[in-house]
Amino acid sequence: MHLILIEHIQKFVTLEPAEIEILDSALRVSKLKKKELVLQEGQICNDMYFVVKGCLRQYIINTKGSEQTLQFAIENWWMTDYLSYHNLIPSHFYIQAVENSEVIVIEKSSMELLLLQIPKLERYFRIVAQKSFGAGQMRIKFLFTMSAEERYHHFNTLHPEFVQRVPQYMIASYLDFSAEFMSKIRSGKV
């Protein structure tokens, strides 16, 4: 049983036993090794990933050839490239496991089938997407109004466990400053 996802869904909609049955048999778990890629730039994103355990990140490779993390997903978060997924266009992003991770993968075709069989899931995914969009708006607010140092302390206060788990250079690029500058912030040299 894919309990973690089913419980997450039931926070937003109530499923009948029969629906849980359908859902459960449609899901499959995939174990990802640290650094394993599930999406690469140029590919069409055909899956949605729900993190059961571990951590994924979405990143790009910029013109200087270095990686910039745009998004993290930890337990109970969905990760995908919605634009590539919906419009069938090549993705601009990489999606990678930051740690050894366990994810539930739902392919697009199987997702469409599920949404027909269990229309309540439309509601669940609507709410998830709307909340994610709301979180994204807050992120832009923080990026626009806080200095690098403020963003670091804010993130560190909000997600202290996370800062331990993930390499600093990934967090630095997620907060839109260089790894070197982050090092200076941490040591108080700025």
Residue 161: Cβ within 10 Å count: 8
- What is the bridge-based pairing of β-strands 55-61 and 47-53? unpaired
Binding mask 53-82 for a copy of itself (x = CB under 8 A): -----x-x-xx----x-xx---------xx
Task: Report how far Cα 174 is from the mean position of its chain's Cα atoms.
Answer: 12
User: Per CB under 8 A, which region of 96-104, 114-122, 157-165, 178-186 contacts a copy of itself?
Assistant: 114-122
**10 Å Cβ neighbour count for 134?**
10
Residue among 92, 153, 154, 186 that touches a copy of itself (CB under 8 A): 92
Name residues contacting DNA, limited to 129-148 (CB under 7 A).
147-148
Taken as a whole, the chain contains a residue count of 190
Report how far residue 153's alpha carbon sits from residue 178's, in angstroms, rounded to the nearest whole number.
15
Q: Supply the minimum distance, in Å, between the C-beta of residue 179 and DNA.
A: 5
The span from the CA of 49 to the CA of 10, in Å, is 18
Judged by beta carbon distances under 5 to 8 A according to partner kind, the member of a copy of itself, DNA, none in contact with residue 10 is none
Q: Is 109 in the site for a copy of itself (CB under 8 A)?
A: no
18 binds a copy of itself (CB under 8 A): no
Which helix (H) or strand (E) segment holds residue 72: the answer is: strand 67-74
Using CB under 7 A, list all residues that contact DNA: 64, 147-149, 167-169, 176-184, 186-187, 189
